[in-house]
Amino acid sequence: VATTIREVARAAQVSVSTVSRAFTTPELVRQDTRRRVIETAERLGYRPNRAARGLITGKTGNIGAIVPDITNPFFPSVLRGVQARARQTDLWVFLADSGEDPHAESRLITEMAKQVDGIVLAASRMSAAQLANATGTTTLVFLNRRVAGSPSVLMDYIGGAKQALDHLVALGHRRCVYLQGPATSWSNRERRRGLRLAARRLGVDLLELGPFAPIFESGVHGADLALAAGVTAIVAYNDLQALGVLTRLADRGVPVPEAMSVIGFDDIPMAAMTTPALTTVALPKEEAGRLAVDVLLGLLDTGDEDGQAELPTHLIVRASTAPVRE
Amino acid sequence: VATTIREVARAAQVSVSTVSRAFTTPELVRQDTRRRVIETAERLGYRPNRAARGLITGKTGNIGAIVPDITNPFFPSVLRGVQARARQTDLWVFLADSGEDPHAESRLITEMAKQVDGIVLAASRMSAAQLANATGTTTLVFLNRRVAGSPSVLMDYIGGAKQALDHLVALGHRRCVYLQGPATSWSNRERRRGLRLAARRLGVDLLELGPFAPIFESGVHGADLALAAGVTAIVAYNDLQALGVLTRLADRGVPVPEAMSVIGFDDIPMAAMTTPALTTVALPKEEAGRLAVDVLLGLLDTGDEDGQAELPTHLIVRASTAPVRE
DNA sequence: ATGAAAGCGCTAACAG
DNA sequence: CTGTTAGCGCTTTCAT
């Protein structure tokens, strides 16, 4: 039913190789021949079969994107970046959701490996051992996780955490709590590290709670804990948690930002839409997705291990933070 | 680098055909031979090359999923359903985001067609002409759009709209506004139709505003319009819009639900997390995604045009609706 | 029950 | 610049 290269060749009065060349290495075909071929192909509705091509070139023209939870608003943004950049290079992206399960994640990689040129692995939750095992099956680019010897796209959480605490200190806060994310999350460890560093430098009391799942409900949970701890500010692992904090605080009649300041990480769309709007460390989500594909492409083309790219982050001050009350 | 069927054949002392059969038609291979083959394959880490297989069987083992905007929380839920069901059948899913652009959507279909067995097209924004053109390139299953002669997974918006208005009327509301979604959206037309039907039957004044994009900002915009129109209740095209309404109303000092009732459609995760929590017509998003894949699979297997499946919807009453004030 | 051989649609030497 | 030929890894007749 689909037009093949042979039919085009016959119709255009050339050999199949010429048709093939007209598409893959046009500079090797005489101008007018090429035009004739392309026109004929167009007319016949010919589209090269990528599977057949891949069989011989060894490249599939596909990449994979694996995320822990597609319903976490952070990841759709990343995926949009991945997908947009892939489309520009005529690459297609296989989507997979590991459901926050490291084991499922590792299985997905193995099974996907055969039909992709590489995989963008977002916020991998795998253990070091699983990681070592997965590396090697196919070209992997990590997003939001640093892995020794593997290319990755990172974000400057140390800087972001510093900005968050500087902001809080400028407002007079001295006692804050950090609501942790998943224990398996590299970003959580990194954000915590940044917070600790800054807290020590600034002489701020930093209490760490958790780990918690990166979801709204954890914030609801954590808010009560923070309240009991008597702090004046809460830094959440991500915006989803922070939103949960906001809701719980409102329910308990604690005015934000008057009685408690709240900061998140991510800057998901909803962060700007709540009342009060959320102060948060904004992350370049789409850009990270695009960059991850670039890194992958670079790796495939030149084989150079570009190592780790780190993207800047910046605090967006909205309405959920204010000077500490006397 | 990857193990091929030939190596397995040699190692297991059989021909390649036997290895092939052991995987695809095990009943044609003697028990012990099969076991030996499978074991050898396992040991060698052999995984059949799907592209090569597809070349000859004509099936790729891939399906496509196209959504208008992956950052709209409705779609990640659908995608999760699609992906989960696909994985159960050892199918892989290509993801594409059309960016709400009908033209891009139609191009994506054509380009994707060659490498998939079928496509789940969520909330297609294409015109009837573009639709007619796209049908036929590959097997298409529509989700949230009725297309004559094409299989689709629909939701009962008529029923949902009825529930919403019944609820409003029970609370004493007589004048409401409907904030429309995109003009190109079938769900918008359908929800509007359901609302009109119910309004007529119940003797409710229904004012229609829009069309608007299915985003938060449209709700902000629409809230002012609704206020000026002097209604007591707002039904938004979707939860994102409804959230915008809530925010704007709060900013303008209009208490919800005391001075205005607000209802959305979708039941995105955020709907339960706002203050007040949003009353909304819940849609079976994941289920729809799974069902779409089932329909697609059925179509591919048996070729039967199952026609249109319609999933039930139900109103979830939360805190954004209340009796109209005297 | 198993093997040999013929391709699926395409690209990549290798000749001219 | 273009054509011929040999496969890529696999499934599927057709024999045996």
CB A150 within 8 A of CB A142: yes
Nearest to A324, CA basis, from A198, A179, A175, A162: A175
* Distance in Å, alpha carbon of B269 to nearest chain A alpha carbon: 9
Confidence of residue B286 (pLDDT cuts 50, 70, 90): very high
High-pLDDT (> 70) share of chain B, %: 98
Calpha distance A291→A85 (Å, rounded): 8
Identify the three-state secondary structure at position A96: strand
pLDDT at A210: 87
Contact B77 A95 (CB under 8 A): no
Strand duo B314-316 + B279-282: pairing? antiparallel
- Token pair recorded at residue A132: 């070592």
Output the distance from B18 CA to C1 C1' rounded to whole Å: 9
CB B237 within 8 A of CB B297: no
Of A71, A96, A243, the CB nearest to B273: A243
Question: Is the shortest CB-to-strand distance from B40 to strand C under 7 Å?
Answer: no
Output the distance from A55 CA to D10 C1' rounded to whole Å: 10
Nearest to B119, CA basis, from B306, B305, B299, B266: B299
Residue closest to sugar C1' of D6 by CA: A56
Check whether B2 has a pLDDT greater than 90: no
Identify the three-state secondary structure at position A88: helix
pLDDT at A148: 87
Task: Say whether residue B109 is in contact with chain A using an 8 A CB cutoff.
Answer: no
Output the distance from B308 CA to C9 C1' rounded to whole Å: 36
Q: Which parts of A203-326 fold into alpha helices (H)?
A: 216-229, 239-251, 285-302
Task: Say whether residue A153 is in contact with chain B using an 8 A CB cutoff.
Answer: no
Contact B95 A95 (CB under 8 A): yes
Exposure on the CB side of residue A292, measured as CA atoms within 13 A: 37
pLDDT at A135: 87
DSSP 8-class letter at B323: P
Calpha distance B270→B268 (Å, rounded): 5
Output the distance from B26 CA to D13 C1' rounded to whole Å: 18
Residue labelled with tokens 């972001």: A160
Identify the three-state secondary structure at position A229: helix
* Distance in Å, alpha carbon of B201 to nearest chain A alpha carbon: 36
| Nearest nucleotide to B59, CA against C1' atoms | C8
Question: In degrees, to the nearest 5, what angle opens at C-alpha A305 toward C-alphas A299 and A306?
Answer: 95
Interface subset of B 191-230, CB within 8 angstroms of A: 216
pLDDT at A1: 67
Residue of A nearest to B94 (CA): A94
Contact A87 B96 (CB under 8 A): yes
Identify the three-state secondary structure at position A99: coil
Task: Say whether residue A96 is in contact with chain B using an 8 A CB cutoff.
Answer: yes
Task: Say whether residue B47 is in contact with chain A using an 8 A CB cutoff.
Answer: yes
Residue B31 region by backbone torsions, left for phi larger than 0, else alpha for psi between -120 and 50, else beta:
alpha
Alpha carbon distances (Å) from A224 to A37, A177, A257, A258, B205 = 70, 12, 16, 17, 45
Confidence of residue B302 (pLDDT cuts 50, 70, 90): confident
Output the distance from B175 CA to D13 C1' rounded to whole Å: 72
Task: Say whether residue A184 is in contact with chain B using an 8 A CB cutoff.
Answer: no
* Distance in Å, alpha carbon of A12 to nearest chain B alpha carbon: 22
pLDDT at A149: 85
pLDDT at A266: 97
Exposure on the CB side of residue B106, measured as CA atoms within 13 A: 14
Output the distance from A303 CA to D2 C1' rounded to whole Å: 33
Calpha distance B120→B292 (Å, rounded): 7
* Distance in Å, alpha carbon of A116 to nearest chain B alpha carbon: 11
DSSP 8-class letter at A167: H
Q: Which parts of chain B fold into alpha helices (H)?
A: 5-12, 16-24, 31-44, 50-57, 74-88, 102-113, 128-134, 157-170, 186-202, 216-229, 239-251, 285-302
Residues in CB range of B20: below 8 A, 6 or more apart: B5
pTM: 0.94
Question: Is the shortest CB-to-strand distance from A56 to strand C under 7 Å?
Answer: yes
Calpha distance A65→B95 (Å, rounded): 9
Question: Is the shortest CB-to-strand distance from A17 to strand C under 7 Å?
Answer: yes
pLDDT at B1: 67
Mean pLDDT of chain B: 94
Calpha distance B76→B82 (Å, rounded): 10
Task: Say whether residue A252 is in contact with chain B using an 8 A CB cutoff.
Answer: no
- Token pair recorded at residue A259: 């009685």
Exposure on the CB side of residue B324, measured as CA atoms within 13 A: 16
DSSP 8-class letter at B255: -
Task: Say whether residue B98 is in contact with chain A using an 8 A CB cutoff.
Answer: no
- Token pair recorded at residue B291: 């069902």
Residues in CB range of A82: below 8 A, 6 or more apart: A63, A65, A93, A120, A289, A290, A292, A293
Calpha distance B67→B104 (Å, rounded): 11
Contact B51 A60 (CB under 8 A): yes
DSSP 8-class letter at B135: B
Q: What are the pLDDT digits (tens) for B113-128?
A: 989 999 999 999 999 9
| Cβ neighbours, 10 Å, residue B188 | 24
Strand duo A205-209 + A233-236: pairing? unpaired
Identify the three-state secondary structure at position A52: helix
Longest dimension (CA), chain B: 88
Alpha carbon distances (Å) from A197 to A191, A204, B162, B193 = 10, 10, 57, 58
Calpha distance B176→B164 (Å, rounded): 11
Identify the three-state secondary structure at position B219: helix
Top residue of B47, B63, B66, B71 to mutate, by most chain A CBs within 10 Å, is: B71
DSSP 8-class letter at A275: S
Calpha distance A282→A32 (Å, rounded): 53
Residue of A nearest to B86 (CA): A96
Task: Say whether residue B52 is in contact with chain A using an 8 A CB cutoff.
Answer: yes
* Distance in Å, alpha carbon of B31 to nearest chain A alpha carbon: 26
| Cβ neighbours, 10 Å, residue A14 | 19
Residues in CB range of B32: below 8 A, 6 or more apart: none
Contact A65 B250 (CB under 8 A): no
Please list the ranges in chain A whose pLDDT falls under 50. none
Calpha distance B18→B14 (Å, rounded): 6
Calpha distance B205→A21 (Å, rounded): 66
Of B75, B94, B243, the CB nearest to A92: B94
Question: Is the shortest CB-to-strand distance from A1 to strand C under 7 Å?
Answer: no
Output the distance from B5 CA to D10 C1' rounded to whole Å: 8
| Cβ neighbours, 10 Å, residue A156 | 19
Residue closest to sugar C1' of C3 by CA: B15
Calpha distance B64→B45 (Å, rounded): 28
CB A245 within 8 A of CB A234: yes
Residues in CB range of B151: below 8 A, 6 or more apart: B140, B141, B142, B295, B296, B299, B305, B306, B307, B308, B309
Check whether B222 has a pLDDT greater than 90: yes
Contact A95 B79 (CB under 8 A): yes
| Nearest nucleotide to A21, CA against C1' atoms | C11
Task: Say whether residue A304 is in contact with chain B using an 8 A CB cutoff.
Answer: no
pLDDT at A306: 67
* Nucleotides in chain D with any atom closer than 7 Å to protein CB: 1-5, 7-13
